Amino acid sequence: MALALREARAAAERGETPVGAVILDPKTGEVIAVAGNGPIAAHDPTAHAEIAAMRLAAARLENYRLTDLTLVVTLEPCAMCAGAISHARIGRVVWGADDPKGGAVVHGPKFFAQPTCHWRPETTGGVMAQESADLLRGFFRARRKAKSGA
């Protein structure tokens, strides 16, 4: 999670929402891919950290199936990312901060619990949750302050 937080901080420095993701092989501990949020710079609404990390991992492994790998992300995945996680057949998802407004694992649609979900990873939330939440809160606080001219 520390590596994902580093990527989230880098995303914030680029003006992106501070979310970072890491894909690793739990058997070897090898980091397969690391990415931060990038929708603004990429002009791509799908360029969430999780999607970017999965794209990098799939290209590196030359396989769109990421079975048995672990995705570590600083924020509970949204519905779009949860769908991609399911399609990639990620084995485990670990996240930091819960997202009551936009999350889709334990909030909102609870994507992996839906009967139409064809692949359900193991899930663990709340890992370094305070650090992840503080980073997001600080980022948006600074944006509101800059917008108000304070």
Question: Is 50 a known active-site residue?
Answer: yes
Give the pLDDT confidence of 37-85 residue by residue, as tens digits: 999 999 999 999 999 999 999 999 999 999 999 999 999 999 999 999 9
pLDDT at 145: 85
Chain-wide mean pLDDT for the chain? 96
State the binding site: 48, 78, 81
> CA 124, CA 22: separation in Å to the nearest integer?
15
pTM value is 0.94
Mean pLDDT of 3-27: 98
149 domain residue, yes or no: no
The stretch 87-114 carries a mean pLDDT of 97
Is 150 domain-assigned?
no
| 80: CB partners within 8 A, 6+ apart | 46, 48, 51
Task: Kindly name the residue from 7, 16, 50, 76 that is annotated as catalytic.
Answer: 50
Q: Which domain holds residue 108?
A: 1-144
* Helix and strand counts by DSSP (H, E) for the chain: 5, 5
- Point out the annotated binding site for Zn(2+): 48, 78, 81
CATH number of the CATH domain containing 106: 3.40.140.10
